[in-house]
Structure 1
C-alpha cells in the first residue's frame, strides 16, 4: 500500500516544487491575478508542473495562491472562486497522470490580501468564509493536502487553518514568512510561531518566501528546537533585484541547493522553493538531498522575547500646543492650507503671514482632490520653522500603505510635527494621476490605533521604540452624512482607538451640529467645526452639488441670491451666526478659506466673542 503524505513525511526529506508565479511570468503569462492563468493558459500552467515533476518534485502546489474571493474581487472575478480552483486541481492532476509517479497535489492557499485587526477593517467571519470557500473547492476537486503559505500574520494563519479544517480533514502544512531579522512581519519569533502552530491540527509547519535559504536555515534551526511536528521550508532564490525592467533573484541553483541541504540537516522534512526558484533549482536540490536525514536538534528553552517597553533613557514627550490649548478650554482657531503644486513654498508661506497672529494652528492638507502637490509633512515643517506656527498634518490613507504610514509618522515626530489628522483621502481616479493605485491598507481607526501605540512606545508589531511619541490625534466627523447613525458608529470606533480631537466638514446651519450633539449626549472629544465662508450663490451650489460631504440649506441659497453683489459679506454673516449659535458645543473652528482668501478668517472672527462657553 502506498504511503500517505504524513507517512512519507516521516521517512525523511520530501521534495516540493518551486515558484509558480516566476515561471508563468517567464513564459509570457500576464494575467492579473495569475490564478486566472488556470482558465486562460492551462497548458502553460501544466508545463510548469511537468517541469517541476521531471526535476524530482514529489509535491506540486496548485496555482491558487490568490484564488480567494477577496483577492479575486480586485479583478472583478470573485464569482469564479470554484471555477478557478477546480481548474487548477484538474491541471495538476493532468500533469501527475503524465509522469505516472506517486505525486501529492497540494492546494495552495495564500493570505487574503486584506488587512485585518488591529488596523484593518476585515472581520474574522468574512475572512473565515473566504478561506473555507477556497478550501472546499480545492478539496472537492481532489487535492491530497493543503499548503497555507506566505502568511505574515499569525492570527490570520490561525483563522485560515480553522477555516480549512472546518471543510476538510486533509493534511495541512502552514507556513509563515520571516524577515532578515528572523521574525515575522508581525514581530513573532520562530520559537513563538512553532509554539503557536504546534497547538493546531497540522501535518507540518514552517517558513517560506521573503528571504533566501541561508536566513531560512536559521529560522528552521530555531523552530526545530521547540517543535514536535515536522518542519517545512520553501525559501526564495535569494533577495530580489530590479534589473532591466525585470525582477531577478541572486541565488543560482548550485548555491541554493547547497544552502537548502543545510536546511534539511537543520531539521526540515518538506523542502522546496518559493519566489525566483526554477525547475533547475529543484533538480539541484533533489541531488543535494540524497542521503540526508533531517536532524532533530535538542530541545531548549524558548528565549524570552524582549519586552516592548520604551527605553528608560528616552525623555517624556511634551504635549503639543494644540493639546494644551484644548485642555485649558481655550477656543482654538485653525486655518487650512493646501501645499503648492511645485517645490517652492514661498508664495504659500506669504499667504499665511497676515493670519499668523490670529490662528493657533495651520491645517495642512494631503494631496487634496488627489492632486500632485508637495507633501504635507514638508509643508508642515516649513510652516513651523519659517512662521513659528504649529501645524496639523493631514495624513491620507488612500495614498500610502502601512509601511509608508509607519515611516512618515516617525519622520513627522522627529521633525516636530505632532498634531496629525487621519483622513481617507481622495480617490486617485478623479485626480492628476487616475492610473495611480488607491492603497487603503488600513482604516482611519487603524491609523489612530497605530499612533496610539506609538504614544505608548511600541510600533505596529509590538517592537519597542526608543520612547513614547506625543502625537495629538485628530479624526474626521461628517455632520452632514446621509446616514448619521453609521457616521456616529464609525466615530465610536475612532474614539475607542484613541483619537483626541475631531475636525468636521463645513457646516452651514446650527441644527446640523445640535442634532449630532444631542444624539451623542454631547460630543465625546473637542470639535473644531469646519467653516468655509461662501462667496456667492454659485459657489454655494457648486459645493452643495459637487463636493462630497457638504450640504448647504435652501435658506442660505436664498440669502446669497438676495444679497447680490454683497453675497460674500452675507456668506461671512452666515458663518458668524453659526459660530455664535453653536459656541457651547464646539472647542474651536477649522477655517477653509475659499479660493485662498485668508482675510475671511479675520472678517469672520471680527465682532465675535468666542472666549466663553
Structure 2
C-alpha cells in the first residue's frame, strides 16, 4: 500500500503543527479542564487552532486526542466516551482540512496513559495495551493518515502502544519520547537505547518531543543521529522553552525567531519531521516554515508549501463542442472515474492536488459531488470548472434538485454548458435534515427523473417550458441506481423512468458483491427488457472493519454483504490492504459485465483509488478488454 506520509518524507523535510493544549489554554480553557473534552463542548475552538496551524504552513496536523485514552478520560468522568472523543477529534481535524482546502496529513495523537507500569507500578503491560488499542481503533475509524505517539517517558509503555497499533493497523507510526535536562528519559534510557529499541519495533520515524526546549532537544538529536544506523527518519517537536508562572498565567519563553534557528540546526542534523510542543504557536510554525522554504526553494501558497511542479497550470481547456469525451468512450472503452468532494471552505487546493495525482495515474474522469449528506461545500460546478481548466481532466457533475427551483436549476445548467461542464449525474439529493442545516428549506420542484427530462429537452434545444434555447445542448446524462435498496420494486420503477426520460448511462451506489448488481439487472430485464445503456459500478474501498461497520449502519445508501464485513473483520491490522484487494477482485469480475467503474475513496485518500485501478485494462472493443 502507498502511504502519502512516507512518500512525502521521501521528498524532503516535513513541517508539523505546534501545541494544542497550550493553545486551548491561551484561548480560554482552564488548565484543570479536560482538553480532549473540548472536542465535544467547543468544537469550533479546536477547528480554529487546526486551521491557524495549516495557514501558518504546517503540512501535518495532530488530532486533539493526546490524553483521550480510557485511563486519563476516567478522571474527568469520560471513561465510557473514548470512541466518541477520539472520533470527534479526527472529524475536527478533517473539518479544518476541508475548510482550508489544503491537503495536509492528519496524525492521530496518542499520549501516555498516566500510569506507571509493573513491576515498579501496578498496571500490567497487557492492560495498557488494551487501553491504547481502544483509542487507536477509534482514531482509525475517524480516518487518520498516520499515528504519532508522543511525550512517552516509559519505553515499555511506548512499546505496548506500538504493539497495540500494529495489531489493528498498517498505518505509518511516529514514535517520540521525552527527555529530561540530562538527556535521559524518566526511566534513565539514553537516546541510543531509545533509537535501537524503537527501530526493532519497525516504526517509521523516531524522535523527541516536549522535553525542556530547543537547545537540549538538539543535544538529544545528535545522540540519536549517531545511533541511527538504519537511517530511520528522525522527528523533533520541542517545547518553547521551560515554562514559568507569571501571575495566573503560564509563560513559555522561546520566541518564533529562536525556533527558526532551531529548525535550521535540526535540518543540518538531518531531521525529517519538525514541529512544536507545549508553548508553541502558529507563529512558531510560520517561522520554521520560512526556514524550510528557503532551504528547498519553494514558496508558500495559501499557507502550505507546494512543490513547483504542482503549481504549474496546464494549458488544456476542456469546453467540448459536440459529444463529451465521456459520451464518446461509453461502451467503447472501460471507463474509470474517481469521486472528489468539494472543500467546505474557500480553498480548492486539496481537491485540485488530488485530481492532478489521479490524472497522472491514468484516471480520465472525476466525479464531483454536490454537497453530499446535505453539508455545505464549495459549489460542485465551480470545482468542476477549476478541475477541467487547471488540471485538464473531464468531470462528471453531480447535480441535485434539492437546492434549486425550476428556474435556478435551468440557469445552472445553461451556465454549466457554457463553462464546458457537460457530463451531468442527475440526482434528487439528500434531504437537509441529514446535514448541517436541518431546518433549511428543500426545493424539490422536480426530482431526478424530472431533471433528466429537463436535460433531454436542453439536448433537443428547448427549456422545460418548451421555449427555444437557441441551439441543441450536448449534455451527457447519467442517473444513479441503488441495487442494495430494500425496496427493489420502487428502485426498478424509478430506474426505468429515468432511462425512459433519456438517460445515457447509469452509476450505481457502492456494491460489494457483483451478484448484487447481477440480481438487480436480471430483475430489471425480466420486467422491462435490456438496460440499453452503459453501467458504471460504484466501488468503495474499505479502510478497516470499524470503517465497514460504520458505513453499513450509519451511511444512507450503503449496504455491505456479510461476506465483506467478515473479510474486513478477519483482516485485522491489514484492513486497508484487504479493502483494496476486495475492490480489485470486484472490478476484475465486473470487467465483462459493466462498462466502467467509479471509485469513492473515503477520507480523501486518492492514493487508494490509484491502488485499485493500477494495471486495469483501459480499452474495450466489441466486449473484449485489452
TM-score range, shorter chain: 0.3 to 0.5
* TM-score, normalised via structure 1 length: 0.47
* TM-score, normalised via structure 2 length: 0.46
Q: Say which one has the larger Rg.
A: 1
